[in-house]
């Protein structure tokens, strides 16, 4: 049996953890990954907006992915990490629990989002990649930054 080009096709994901679940965004959309930055709250913003951060003179919005995905709030005293992604409207920081590694996936591993995912999360997840010991949930960055 021969392997088709679709089965050979791969994609790189920058991974991160939220509430014990492994998520990823395409490496091409990631500008950088940085430690926690002090944030300035934005009055009257939705609860998903963590605030504004100053990234070397550039002011960018930080979105709390736990809130966007309907997960419980982060434990008190645990600072989030920032995954800064490029969007059509500029850079946006995604607040995550911890940073993972860059993982190469094969197109053949891709499946629709699992049925166990909440409806709110299903809107923001493109699908899942079956890895050796876990699932990698592929985040739809363009939808995740819409608040």
| Domain range list for the chain | 11-140
CA atoms within 13 A on the CB side of 131: 17
- The position carrying tokens 């911890």 is 98
Q: For domain 11-140, give the CATH superfamily.
A: CheA-289, Domain 4 (2.40.50.180)
pLDDT value of residue 6: 54
Q: Give me the torsion for CA of 125, 129, 133, 139, rounded to 10°.
A: -30
Q: Distance between CA atoms of 76 and 46, rounded to whole angstroms?
A: 20
Could you tell me which residues are beta bridge partners of residue 52?
A: 40, 61
Asked if pLDDT for residue 1 goes beyond 50, the answer is no
The confidence score (pLDDT) of residue 115 equals 87
How far is the first Cα of the chain from the last one, in angstroms, to the nearest whole number? 47
Task: For the chain, give the mean pLDDT.
Answer: 91
Cα 46 to Cα 65, 121, 144, distances in angstroms = 13, 17, 14
Residue 120's pLDDT band (boundaries 50, 70, 90)?
Answer: confident
State pLDDT tens for residues 2-19: 455 555 689 999 999 999
CB 64 within 8 A of CB 117: no
């Amino acid at each position: 049996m021969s392997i088709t080009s679709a089965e050979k096709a791969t994609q790189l994901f920058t991974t991160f953890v939220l509430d014990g679940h492994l998520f990823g965004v395409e490496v091409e959309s990631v500008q950088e990954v940085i430690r926690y930055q002090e944030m300035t709250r934005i009055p009257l913003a939705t609860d998903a907006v963590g605030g504004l951060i100053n990234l070397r003179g550039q002011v960018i919005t930080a979105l709390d992915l736990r809130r966007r995905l309907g997960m419980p709030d982060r434990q008190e005293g645990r600072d989030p990490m920032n995954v800064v992604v490029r969007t059509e409207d500029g850079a946006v920081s995604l607040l995550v629990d911890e940073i993972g590694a860059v993982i190469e996936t094969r197109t053949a591993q891709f499946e629709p989002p699992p049925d166990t995912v909440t409806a709110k999360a299903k809107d923001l997840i493109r699908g899942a990649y079956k890895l050796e010991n876990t699932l990698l949930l592929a985040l739809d960055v363009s939808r995740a930054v819409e608040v």
